[in-house]
Amino acid sequence: MVLKARGPDASTAPGPPDVPPRKKRSMPPAASRPADNLDDDDYPAYTMGRAAAIIGATQGFLRALDEAELITPQRSPGGHRRYSRYQLRLAARARELVDSGTALDAACRIIILEDQLAEAQRINAELTEEPK
Protein backbone atom coordinates (compact mmCIF):
# COMPACT_ATOMS: atom_id res chain seq x y z
CA MET A 1 0.00 0.00 0.00
CA VAL A 2 1.32 3.46 -0.90
CA LEU A 3 0.51 6.40 1.34
CA LYS A 4 0.49 9.86 -0.21
CA ALA A 5 1.74 12.89 1.64
CA ARG A 6 -1.00 15.42 2.38
CA GLY A 7 0.80 18.35 3.88
CA PRO A 8 4.15 20.05 4.10
CA ASP A 9 5.37 17.69 6.82
CA ALA A 10 3.26 14.58 6.31
CA SER A 11 6.14 12.29 7.27
CA THR A 12 5.51 13.00 10.95
CA ALA A 13 1.73 13.28 10.74
CA PRO A 14 -0.03 10.83 13.03
CA GLY A 15 -1.61 7.83 11.36
CA PRO A 16 -4.55 5.82 12.62
CA PRO A 17 -4.60 5.38 16.43
CA ASP A 18 -2.99 1.92 16.33
CA VAL A 19 -0.13 3.01 14.03
CA PRO A 20 2.72 5.04 15.53
CA PRO A 21 3.70 8.21 13.63
CA ARG A 22 6.38 7.73 11.00
CA LYS A 23 9.82 9.10 11.68
CA LYS A 24 11.44 11.49 9.24
CA ARG A 25 13.79 9.67 6.95
CA SER A 26 17.05 11.18 5.87
CA MET A 27 17.70 11.69 2.18
CA PRO A 28 19.10 8.54 0.55
CA PRO A 29 22.67 8.64 -0.74
CA ALA A 30 23.03 10.64 -3.94
CA ALA A 31 23.60 7.58 -6.13
CA SER A 32 20.35 5.92 -5.08
CA ARG A 33 17.96 8.84 -5.53
CA PRO A 34 15.38 8.15 -8.26
CA ALA A 35 16.25 11.35 -10.15
CA ASP A 36 19.81 10.09 -10.57
CA ASN A 37 18.50 7.17 -12.64
CA LEU A 38 17.01 9.39 -15.36
CA ASP A 39 20.17 9.37 -17.47
CA ASP A 40 21.29 5.84 -16.58
CA ASP A 41 21.05 3.62 -19.68
CA ASP A 42 21.37 0.51 -17.51
CA TYR A 43 18.60 1.34 -15.03
CA PRO A 44 15.77 -1.22 -15.41
CA ALA A 45 12.91 1.25 -15.73
CA TYR A 46 10.55 -0.45 -18.18
CA THR A 47 8.08 -3.25 -17.56
CA MET A 48 7.73 -5.98 -20.15
CA GLY A 49 4.48 -4.57 -21.51
CA ARG A 50 5.88 -1.06 -21.81
CA ALA A 51 9.14 -2.32 -23.33
CA ALA A 52 7.23 -4.33 -25.95
CA ALA A 53 5.12 -1.29 -26.82
CA ILE A 54 8.18 0.95 -27.15
CA ILE A 55 9.95 -1.31 -29.63
CA GLY A 56 6.77 -2.42 -31.40
CA ALA A 57 7.15 -6.10 -30.59
CA THR A 58 5.27 -8.67 -28.57
CA GLN A 59 6.07 -9.74 -25.04
CA GLY A 60 6.80 -13.19 -26.44
CA PHE A 61 9.53 -11.67 -28.62
CA LEU A 62 11.16 -10.15 -25.52
CA ARG A 63 10.94 -13.51 -23.75
CA ALA A 64 12.59 -15.14 -26.78
CA LEU A 65 15.47 -12.63 -26.55
CA ASP A 66 15.83 -13.54 -22.88
CA GLU A 67 15.88 -17.26 -23.74
CA ALA A 68 18.46 -16.59 -26.48
CA GLU A 69 20.50 -14.74 -23.83
CA LEU A 70 20.77 -11.55 -25.88
CA ILE A 71 19.29 -9.55 -23.03
CA THR A 72 18.77 -10.63 -19.46
CA PRO A 73 16.30 -8.28 -17.80
CA GLN A 74 16.49 -7.63 -14.10
CA ARG A 75 13.60 -8.80 -11.96
CA SER A 76 11.43 -6.74 -9.67
CA PRO A 77 10.85 -8.04 -6.12
CA GLY A 78 7.65 -9.63 -7.46
CA GLY A 79 9.57 -11.45 -10.21
CA HIS A 80 8.51 -9.24 -13.13
CA ARG A 81 11.00 -8.47 -15.88
CA ARG A 82 12.40 -4.93 -16.00
CA TYR A 83 14.28 -3.60 -19.04
CA SER A 84 16.81 -0.80 -19.40
CA ARG A 85 17.11 1.62 -22.31
CA TYR A 86 20.27 -0.16 -23.42
CA GLN A 87 18.41 -3.48 -23.51
CA LEU A 88 15.58 -1.86 -25.47
CA ARG A 89 18.05 -0.62 -28.08
CA LEU A 90 19.37 -4.18 -28.47
CA ALA A 91 15.83 -5.56 -28.67
CA ALA A 92 14.86 -2.95 -31.29
CA ARG A 93 17.92 -3.90 -33.37
CA ALA A 94 16.97 -7.58 -33.06
CA ARG A 95 13.47 -6.78 -34.23
CA GLU A 96 14.86 -4.92 -37.28
CA LEU A 97 17.00 -7.92 -38.22
CA VAL A 98 14.24 -10.47 -37.65
CA ASP A 99 11.75 -8.36 -39.62
CA SER A 100 14.21 -8.30 -42.53
CA GLY A 101 14.35 -12.11 -42.58
CA THR A 102 17.29 -12.95 -40.31
CA ALA A 103 16.80 -15.91 -37.98
CA LEU A 104 16.56 -14.96 -34.30
CA ASP A 105 19.72 -16.83 -33.25
CA ALA A 106 21.69 -15.24 -36.12
CA ALA A 107 20.29 -11.80 -35.25
CA CYS A 108 21.42 -12.23 -31.66
CA ARG A 109 24.93 -13.21 -32.76
CA ILE A 110 25.11 -10.21 -35.13
CA ILE A 111 24.05 -7.83 -32.37
CA ILE A 112 26.58 -9.28 -29.91
CA LEU A 113 29.35 -8.84 -32.50
CA GLU A 114 28.21 -5.28 -33.31
CA ASP A 115 28.21 -4.44 -29.61
CA GLN A 116 31.68 -5.93 -29.09
CA LEU A 117 33.03 -4.02 -32.10
CA ALA A 118 31.60 -0.72 -30.85
CA GLU A 119 33.15 -1.31 -27.41
CA ALA A 120 36.54 -2.19 -28.95
CA GLN A 121 36.41 0.96 -31.10
CA ARG A 122 35.55 3.07 -28.04
CA ILE A 123 38.48 1.62 -26.09
CA ASN A 124 40.81 2.08 -29.06
CA ALA A 125 39.78 5.73 -29.40
CA GLU A 126 40.47 6.32 -25.69
CA LEU A 127 43.89 4.67 -25.89
CA THR A 128 44.99 6.52 -29.02
CA GLU A 129 43.74 9.91 -27.84
CA GLU A 130 46.61 12.31 -27.29
CA PRO A 131 47.08 13.60 -23.75
CA LYS A 132 46.27 17.27 -23.30
101 or 23: which leads in pLDDT? 101
What does DSSP assign to residue 39? T
- The verdict on residue 27 lying in a domain is no
How many domains does one find in the chain?
1
- The verdict on residue 121 lying in a domain is yes
- The verdict on residue 89 lying in a domain is yes
- The verdict on residue 97 lying in a domain is yes
- The verdict on residue 21 lying in a domain is no
CATH number of the domain encompassing residue 74 = 1.10.1660.10
Q: Is the dihedral of CA 67, 71, 76, 80 positive or negative?
A: negative
pLDDT of 24-39, one tens digit each?
434 344 456 666 677 7
Residue 19: pLDDT over 80 = no
pLDDT band at 17 (very low <50, low <70, confident <90, very high): very low
- The verdict on residue 87 lying in a domain is yes
In terms of residue numbers, what domain contains 61? 43-127
Residue 98's closest CA among 110, 112, 83, 114? 110
Model confidence, pTM? 0.67
- The verdict on residue 28 lying in a domain is no
